[in-house]
């Protein structure tokens, strides 16, 4: 496989643009890309023509405005290039207008009341900063999606708005530091993606996996991840074939898939790309998830992107690595060799610390979903409390500067492994911390809370918004101050004084941390219903309005969409569970008990005591009764919750009544699974699913 040849072969990228566009048009587009300058409308016609020619030469018959509604998946209507002519023949046409704007029905996507069904008009607008590509004979044009009123109805629009604001504020700081060569500051993002692969035939036999993406039943298997023998272990042949095919597809689409490995749980894996600018990283992460699903299906596998497909083993997340880069390639969060002297780095570092502390509720919100509630706070995933891991060295540097002390830096340590033939290794300045939800990892921050099936857009919107706002204050302070250096020192001291509470370098999984965090006043928003409130908090609405990222009505509509989505997801799960319990598990158990009763009768007739069989029957009878009771209890809870009109109260009832009733029903069914004959159990078990690829 020739990576160089394959990479980007389906993308209308740099090479194609340079070859096919007149220099004037190419330069104009590059200007928009590199510096975030407004798009010159006059070039659209020429770009559209070139794109269409390239797409048709590469087998495309259709084009689509590809967008990201608030469903965590992507959407698009496909139009062919076909245009009839007056003489009855056809030509292939793609106008500048068709490239720039599309008009899907806005009322059919989640809009949180921004659109009524009779007010259907919505627009998609070309995002020229993310390249178009071809998939399945269709030219995909990345777009942003808004309502007739201009209000955002998607994940991309706020992301682009937040990138613009952040760039403006970060540039103000850079100018104050004397940098006049950078024209744009771009949040860079690399999203590590975790996923599970299971056998397709087994998957097809599980209604819960097919409908909900997670198992709603399943007894603990004899072997889960106790032996820690899956993480980075040998990649099985079928999985290796999947990864190879996936890489090839992703590379052709210009996605820089870089790392692949087995994750901690059996059947769990991970893919990491090389980072890109936030909007492209977000587009690429969507493509990655879609190609994962499709590629798995082609190989008789099923890819599970749910945050917690299996109870009792690790769930899946998405590590959102985030940093700030200038258009001329300077990483603003790179400490360099002597971070204590790198005041510009320390300024941006303080901005991130302050932003994360002040807006931790928004970061928490960005990673919240009914699915991720099963993962966050589990022993394998970061807790629901937001804190920052900085490492000992940076923490010391900041405190020393704040206290007016000379920075005391320990000399670099070289590692002795006790074997002469092994190379000498220099130890990193600080250790890794795998338990922190927001960890500094050398020259970037890693936000580990995002769920595996979620779009990464919102997490980056929140980060960008919060950091932009803090930088805005810094820039004002620095611009108004007579003494730049003194003001910088004051910024660092203020950060240490006011925001050290958010820094925690210890074990985030420990029970002591929960107590300690409470003492420090850090919020612990344990579930979606509580976390969503941040979207309509006054302080946050003000932030969004100040930074131009969301209007108040957009905040309220998103709040409603999130609540409604939570209710719908839990409701679908409860309905699926009832269907499986009533129509698969209960009948199977009754039939099995009947078989045992028949055997018992036969044994008795033969003059045998069959006391243990009788005991087994009694247990079956008891558990069948439990299952029936718990089905009724779930039905009652479900009916009660469905009857509540207010979204918030409905969500609370889902969390407080429906989910616990589901847990109870699951417990009795899982107990039953452990005593029923394999052949009678109506669905594949955890052992089948986790160990049969």
| Footprint of ligand ADP (CB under 6 A) | 188-190, 192, 272-275, 321-323, 331, 441, 443-444, 446
In contact, 12 and 131? CB cutoff 8 Å: yes
Which listed range, 228-236, 318-326, 361-369, 418-426, lies at the site for Mg ion (CB under 5 A)? 318-326
In contact, 39 and 32? CB cutoff 8 Å: yes
CA 120 centroid distance within chain: 29
For ligand ADP, the closer CB: 272 or 676: 272
Q: Where would I find the beta strands (DSSP E) of 399-549?
A: 414-415, 425-426, 438-440, 445-447
Q: Which does 335 bind (CB under 5 to 8 A by kind): ligand ADP, Mg ion, none?
A: none
**Which H or E run includes 79?**
strand 78-80
In contact, 388 and 353? CB cutoff 8 Å: yes
For Mg ion, the closer CB: 144 or 281: 281
Q: Which residue is nearest to ligand ADP (CB)?
A: 190
Q: Tell me which residue has tokens 């679908």.
A: 572
Q: Which does 273 bind (CB under 5 to 8 A by kind): Mg ion, ligand ADP, none?
A: ligand ADP
CA 248 centroid distance within chain: 23
Q: Which does 274 bind (CB under 5 to 8 A by kind): Mg ion, ligand ADP, none?
A: ligand ADP
Measure Cα distances from 174 to 326, 340, 350, 493, 608 in Å.
10, 18, 15, 20, 90
Which listed range, 140-148, 315-323, 352-360, 486-494, lies at the site for Mg ion (CB under 5 A)? 315-323
Site residue total, Mg ion (CB under 5 A): 1
CA-to-CA distance for 310 and 115, rounded, in angstroms? 38
Q: Which does 323 bind (CB under 5 to 8 A by kind): Mg ion, ligand ADP, none?
A: ligand ADP
In contact, 664 and 630? CB cutoff 8 Å: yes
For Mg ion, the closer CB: 319 or 647: 319
Told to check if 319 binds Mg ion by CB under 5 A, we report: yes
Nearest one of 606, 415, 566 to 110, comparing CA atoms? 566
Give φ, ψ of 123 to 5 degrees.
Answer: -130, 145
Q: Which does 189 bind (CB under 5 to 8 A by kind): ligand ADP, Mg ion, none?
A: ligand ADP
Told to check if 375 binds Mg ion by CB under 5 A, we report: no
User: Per the structure block, which two tokens stand in for 489?
Assistant: 């020192």
For ligand ADP, the closer CB: 225 or 321: 321
Determine the straight-line distance between the first and last CA of the chain, rounded to whole angstroms.
Answer: 25
Measure Cα distances from 567 to 8, 579, 631, 641, 650 in Å.
40, 18, 19, 9, 7
Q: What is the nearest approach in angstroms of ligand ADP to the Cβ of residue 477?
A: 27
For ligand ADP, the closer CB: 188 or 288: 188
For ligand ADP, the closer CB: 326 or 395: 326
Told to check if 444 binds Mg ion by CB under 5 A, we report: no
For ligand ADP, the closer CB: 193 or 215: 193
For ligand ADP, the closer CB: 124 or 193: 193
User: Per the structure block, which two tokens stand in for 571?
Assistant: 């409701």
Q: Which does 272 bind (CB under 5 to 8 A by kind): ligand ADP, Mg ion, none?
A: ligand ADP
Q: What is the nearest approach in angstroms of ligand ADP to the Cβ of residue 445?
A: 9
Q: What is the nearest approach in angstroms of ligand ADP to the Cβ of residue 333?
A: 7
Nearest one of 218, 466, 239 to 365, comparing CA atoms? 466
Q: What is the nearest approach in angstroms of Mg ion to the Cβ of residue 355?
A: 21
CA-to-CA distance for 72 and 252, rounded, in angstroms? 23
Q: Which does 396 bind (CB under 5 to 8 A by kind): ligand ADP, Mg ion, none?
A: none
Q: What is the nearest approach in angstroms of ligand ADP to the Cβ of residue 360?
A: 21
In contact, 1 and 248? CB cutoff 8 Å: yes
Q: What is the nearest approach in angstroms of ligand ADP to the Cβ of residue 263?
A: 11
For Mg ion, the closer CB: 367 or 654: 367
Q: Which does 444 bind (CB under 5 to 8 A by kind): Mg ion, ligand ADP, none?
A: ligand ADP
DSSP 185-232: EEEEEEEEEEEEEEEHHHHHT-HHHHHHSS-S--PPPS-SSTT--STT
For ligand ADP, the closer CB: 51 or 189: 189
Q: What is the nearest approach in angstroms of Mg ion to the Cβ of residue 579?
A: 39
Q: What is the nearest approach in angstroms of ligand ADP to the Cβ of residue 442?
A: 7
CA-to-CA distance for 127 and 457, rounded, in angstroms? 15
Q: Which residue is nearest to Mg ion (CB)?
A: 319
In contact, 141 and 126? CB cutoff 8 Å: yes
Which listed range, 74-82, 313-321, 609-617, 683-691, lies at the site for Mg ion (CB under 5 A)? 313-321
In contact, 210 and 292? CB cutoff 8 Å: no
For Mg ion, the closer CB: 271 or 402: 271
Question: DSSP alpha helices (H): ranges in 392-480?
Answer: 392-402, 457-480
Q: What is the nearest approach in angstroms of Mg ion to the Cβ of residue 258?
A: 12
- List residues binding Mg ion (CB under 5 A): 319
């Amino acid at each position: 496989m020739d990576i160089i040849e394959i990479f980007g072969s389906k993308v209308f990228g740099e090479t194609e643009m340079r070859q096919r566009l007149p220099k004037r048009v190419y330069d104009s587009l590059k200007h928009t890309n590199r510096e975030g300058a407004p798009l010159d409308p006059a070039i659209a016609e020429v770009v559209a023509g070139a794109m269409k020619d390239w797409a048709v030469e590469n087998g495309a018959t259709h084009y689509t405005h590809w967008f990201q509604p608030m469903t965590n998946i992507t959407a698009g209507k496909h139009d062919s290039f076909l245009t009839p002519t007056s003489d009855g023949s056809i030509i292939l046409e793609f106008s500048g207008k068709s490239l720039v704007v599309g008009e899907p029905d806005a009322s059919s996507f989640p809009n949180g009341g921004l659109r009524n069904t009779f007010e259907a008009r919505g627009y998609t607008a070309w995002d020229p900063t993310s390249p178009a590509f071809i998939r399945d004979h269709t030219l995909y044009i990345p777009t942003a999606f808004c309502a007739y009123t201009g209000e955002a109805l998607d994940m991309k629009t706020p992301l682009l708005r937040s990138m613009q604001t952040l760039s403006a504020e970060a540039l103000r700081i850079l100018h104050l530091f004397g940098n006049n060569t950078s024209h744009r500051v771009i949040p860079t993002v690399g999203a590590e993606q975790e996923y599970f692969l299971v056998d397709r035939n087994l998957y097809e036999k599980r209604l819960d996996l097919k409908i909900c993406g997670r198992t709603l039943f399943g007894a603990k298997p004899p072997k889960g991840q106790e032996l820690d023998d899956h993480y980075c272990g040998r990649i099985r042949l079928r999985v290796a074939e999947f990864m190879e095919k996936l890489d090839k597809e992703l590379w052709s689409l210009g996605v820089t898939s870089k790392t692949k490995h087995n994750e901690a749980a059996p059947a769990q894996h991970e893919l990491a790309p090389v980072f890109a600018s936030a909007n492209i990283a977000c587009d690429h992460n969507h493509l990655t998830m879609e190609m994962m699903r499709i590629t798995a299906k082609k190989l008789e596998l099923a890819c599970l992107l749910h945050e917690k497909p299996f109870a009792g083993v690790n769930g899946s997340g998405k590590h959102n690595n985030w940093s700030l880069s200038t258009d001329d390639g300077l990483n603003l969060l790179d400490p360099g060799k002597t971070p204590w002297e790198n005041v510009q780095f320390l300024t941006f570092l303080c901005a991130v610390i302050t932003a994360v502390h002040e807006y931790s509720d928004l970061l928490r919100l960005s990673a919240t979903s009914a699915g991720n509630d099963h993962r966050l706070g589990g022993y394998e995933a970061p807790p629901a409390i937001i804190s920052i891991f900085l490492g000992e060295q940076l923490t010391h540097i900041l405190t020393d500067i704040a206290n007016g002390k000379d920075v005391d830096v320990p000399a670099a340590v070289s590692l002795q492994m006790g074997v002469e033939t092994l190379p000498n290794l220099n130890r990193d300045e600080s250790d890794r911390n795998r338990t922190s939800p927001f960890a500094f990892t050398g020259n970037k921050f890693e936000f580990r809370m995002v769920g595996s099936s979620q779009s990464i857009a919102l997490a980056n919107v929140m980060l960008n918004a919060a950091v932009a706002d803090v930088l805005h204050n810094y820039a004002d302070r620095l611009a108004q101050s007579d003494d730049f250096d003194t003001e910088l020192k004051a910024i660092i001291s203020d950060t240490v004084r006011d925001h050290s509470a958010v820094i925690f370098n210890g074990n985030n999984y420990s029970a002591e941390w929960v107590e300690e965090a409470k003492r420090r006043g850090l919020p612990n928003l344990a579930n979606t219903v509580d976390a969503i409130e941040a979207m309509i908090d006054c302080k946050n609405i003000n932030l969004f309005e100040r930074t131009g990222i969301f209007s108040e009505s957009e905040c309220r509509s998103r709040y409603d969409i999130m609540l409604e989505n939570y209710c719908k997801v839990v409701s679908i799960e409860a309905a699926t569970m009832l269907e499986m319990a009533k129509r698969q598990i209960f009948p199977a158990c009754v039939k099995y008990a009947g078989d045992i009763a028949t055997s018992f009768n036969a044994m008795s007739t033969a003059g045998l005591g069959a006391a243990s069989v009788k005991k087994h029957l009694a247990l079956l009878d008891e558990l069948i009764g439990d299952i029936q009771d718990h089905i009724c209890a779930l039905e009652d809870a479900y009916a009660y919750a469905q009857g509540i009109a207010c979204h918030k109260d409905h969500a609370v009832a889902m969390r407080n009544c429906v989910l616990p009733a589901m847990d109870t029903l699951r417990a009795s069914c899982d107990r039953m699974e452990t005593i029923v004959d394999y052949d009678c159990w109506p669905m594949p078990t955890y052992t089948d699913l986790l160990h049969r690829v």
